[in-house]
Amino acid sequence: MTELLQQTLDGLSAGLIYGILALALSVVFQGTGMLNFAQGEMATLSAFVTLVFLQFGMPFWAVLPIVIVLSALGGALIERTVVRPLERSGELPLLTLGVALLLGINAMMAIIWGTNSRPFPSPFGQGVVTSLGLRMTYQQLGSLITLLAVLTVTILVFNRTSIGLRLRAVAQNPDSATLLGQHRGKWLMIGWGIAAAVGAFAALVAAPVLTLSPGMMTFPLLLALAAATLGGLTSRVGAVVGGLIVGVSNSLAGRYIPGLDGDLAIVVPFVITAIVVVIKPAGIFGKARTVRV
């Protein structure tokens, strides 16, 4: 039983990273109908920028707010300069744009920093917490607390503030929101900024474990896409719940299903996602929507 609980705990820790990335994907998708395949690369770029500041001797907790602001500004800039011109061009151009952004940002990071993995210091220190037979490293515990805080703040912003109300209105019914005096383009730009900032947190807590490289978030992004599809791309809560399901199922499959150890365990969350989508195409918490064409 203790081993099962430990595997579940490890899965929840990883699943929260997938859920936060899925949340960022959901924010962008609800506003534009676009799956931002570059979300992982944008997050990784934030981690590289953080490492640059750290190499100049700045403490991590002083660098963090700077990088989050820069990430948000970067996301808003991408929406304004790259996404906006293609916003009403249809599904295929937006899909192509997402892939182009992924390849472009990845290539830029490889040119600047190279392709070799490099260590990223843990902001939470070294050590292990043990309780009731379960163990978590300081990195896991700190990551869990940080991501839960980010998730809580994001939910509060969307559900309890005027900014969140306007973002939701523009995402759900852009034409009506425009008639009510809401500047649709401005709020979509803010949505991209929020998504970029949220994704940055995921990369910063994952980098000490995965080690930093241009392709660091490629695998987590695949699982985040599965999580967003499973929980529902149109539901922010669903995206996070989907991430937790993916993380736990991946962890348990790797431990208890023969022949699915290591990266092969990824098969199980994708099978679960496929089954759910067949039964409920919009995902567990999602609502059917029509993508603009």
pLDDT of residue 176: 60
State in words which class domain 2-279 has: mainly alpha
Distances in Å between the alpha carbon of 267 and those of 98, 231, 260, 264?
A: 24, 17, 8, 6
Tell me the pLDDT of the chain averaged across its residues: 86
The confidence score (pLDDT) of residue 293 equals: 37
Averaged pLDDT, 198-202 = 92
Q: Where does residue 53 rank: exposed (0-12), middle (13-18), buried (19+ CB within 10 A)?
A: middle
Q: Taking 50 as the threshold, does the pLDDT of residue 292 lie above it?
A: no
Q: Which tokens go with 71? A: 């990430």
Which pLDDT tens digit goes with each residue over 247-260? Answer: 999 999 888 888 77
Mean pLDDT of 18-42: 86
**Tokens 């759910």, residue?**
276
Indicate the pairing of strand 134-137 with strand 128-131. antiparallel
The arithmetic mean of pLDDT across residues 267-272, rounded, is 92
Does residue 86 have a pLDDT over 90? Answer: no
50-64, 107-121, 244-258: segment of lowest average pLDDT: 244-258
pLDDT for 107: 96
pLDDT at 64: 95
- Rounded CA-CA distance 69/54 in Å is 16
Q: What percent of the chain has pLDDT over 70?
A: 91
What are the tens digits of pLDDT across the range 137-181? 888 888 889 888 988 888 888 888 887 777 777 766 666 656 555
Of 64-73, 115-124, 214-223, 260-269, the least confident: 260-269
User: Rounded to whole angstroms, how far apart are CA atoms 82 and 249?
Assistant: 37
8-state DSSP, 79: I
Tell me, what's the pLDDT at 244?
92
Distance CA 169, CA 38 (A): 25
Give the separation between CA 26 and CA 261, rounded to whole angstroms: 30
Model confidence at 35, pLDDT cuts 50, 70, 90, reads confident
User: Half-sphere exposure of 131 toward its Cβ, with a 13 Å CA cutoff?
Assistant: 5
Strand, helix or coil for residue 100: helix
Write the CB contacts of 259 (distance below 8 Å, at least 6 apart in sequence): none
The position carrying tokens 């929406």 is 79
Model pTM? 0.88
Q: What is the pLDDT of residue 120?
A: 94
At a CB cut-off of 8 Å and minimum separation 6, what does 109 contact? 41, 44, 45, 48, 214
